[in-house]
Amino acid sequence: MNSKLKMFISGGVIGLVGVVLLILGNPGNMGLCIACFWRDITGALGLHRAGVVQYIRPEIIGIIFGSAIMAFIGGDFKSKGGSSPFVRFVLGFFLMIGALVFLGCPLRMIFRLANGDLNALIGLFGYVSGIFIGIQFLKKGYSLGKSIEQSQIAKYIMPIFGLVLLIFLVIRPAFILFSTEGPGSMAAPVIAALVGGLIVGALLQRTRICTAGGFRDLMLIKDTHFLFGLLGIFVFALAGNLIFNFDSFNLGFANQPIAHTNHLWNFLGMALVGLCSSLLGGCPIRQTVLASQGDSDAGITVLGLVMGAAFSHNFGLASSGAGPTSNGQIAVIIGLVVVSIIGYAVTRKSQLKVK
């Protein structure tokens, strides 16, 4: 019980950080969203040219540093890798496409739900369904293989990338793009966002809270340890929104900020995210944290997310408030097929090994 309470409170702090960042200026129901924030960074680097979603989100920099520092203190800062990197890249790529059709990663899904957006409930059903399908592969032996120790330099890559992003954010060179309108232009003050990210990164590294892990363990081994972290995020974010942010609380489907009401594609988009997350062993935020503590496989996954974000906007796959695009719908179907084939092929190979 004690450990679950700890998870609940840690999640609660993350929920409150999200509410504070929302009040301080982040886009609607986007106090924290790992997929959206990586997408904004992708845009700021010029890898996609959607002018309304380009910004170097300090929250990501904070999460990288917070995780790396906490891992260093706890002795978890280690170079690891070599567990099917290219497969992980592809899974990260399609994960991002699914997230941008729904309009948010699983973390933002929780924050959307905590501000009354019921479209996120449809997304949650999709997400849990996707994880359920992933679990069937896990049960039959799916494993991307054991990671092994890598060269010492590997663990510094993500923190150095975070530092480079911070430098770009501060000196704003001409080749870095910053939105002047739209969600990319809406942001909490840099210092607040950095500090919020630091707190969230440190907590996530310590607690290992993962949106995919929470539901996976509930369904697979009937364990609620990680789920209490997710409940903490939801309950505290809901309470925070009701107390400090009541004007923006809007229970229902229609007129939600940066969301659409197409149930089918909200469901399927998040189903793709759930399937990819369970096959990767972690949702986007967990991948970001692991990458920051020296896990090269997670680092490659993050690059997959970035690549997915670039393609999503370059090919018109990402949804808007008006709804999903037909290109996006086709991409989600392709994603579900490709990822299922990956799940099947990896499972089949490991079954042969066990025999």
Partner 1 sequence: MVETYCVVTFESTQHSLMFEKLLKDNKLGVKLMPVPRQLSSSCGTAAYVSCDEKDRILELTKINNIPISEFHILEVSKSGSILSKFMKK
Whether the CA torsion 23, 165, 92, 214 is positive or negative: it is negative
Task: State yes or no: residue 150 binds partner 1 (CB under 8 A).
Answer: no
Amino acid identity at 172:
R
Task: State yes or no: residue 288 binds partner 1 (CB under 8 A).
Answer: no
- Identify the residue among 46, 74, 189, 321 touching partner 1 (CB under 8 A): 74
Cα Rg for the chain, rounded, in angstroms?
A: 19
Amino acid identity at 39:
R
Task: State yes or no: residue 321 binds partner 1 (CB under 8 A).
Answer: no
Q: If DSSP states are collapsed to H, E and C, what string results for 150-199? A: CCHHHHHHHHHHHHHHHHHHHHCCCCCCCCCCCHHHCCCCHHHHHHHHHH
Neighbours of 174 (CB within 10 A): 5
Task: State yes or no: residue 260 binds partner 1 (CB under 8 A).
Answer: no
Which range touches partner 1 (CB under 8 A), out of 55-63, 133-141, 155-163, 313-321? Answer: 133-141
Q: DSSP assignment, residue 320?
A: B
User: Rule CB under 8 A: which of 12-51 touch partner 1?
Assistant: none
Which has the closest alpha carbon to 106: 284, 278, 250? 284
Task: State yes or no: residue 6 binds partner 1 (CB under 8 A).
Answer: yes
Task: State yes or no: residue 130 binds partner 1 (CB under 8 A).
Answer: no
- What x/- string results for residues 198 through 217 when contact with partner 1 is judged by CB under 8 A? -------xx-x-x--x---x
- Identify the residue among 71, 166, 271, 309 touching partner 1 (CB under 8 A): 71
Q: Which residues of 318-344 are buried (b: 16+ CB within 10 A; e: fewer)?
A: bbeeeebbeebbebbeebbeebeebbe
Between 261 and 350, CB nearer to partner 1: 350
Count of residues interacting with partner 1 (CB under 8 A): 31
By the criterion CB under 8 A, which residues form the site for partner 1? 2, 6, 71, 74, 76, 138-143, 146, 205-206, 208, 210, 213, 217, 220-223, 225-226, 281-282, 286, 290, 293, 350, 354
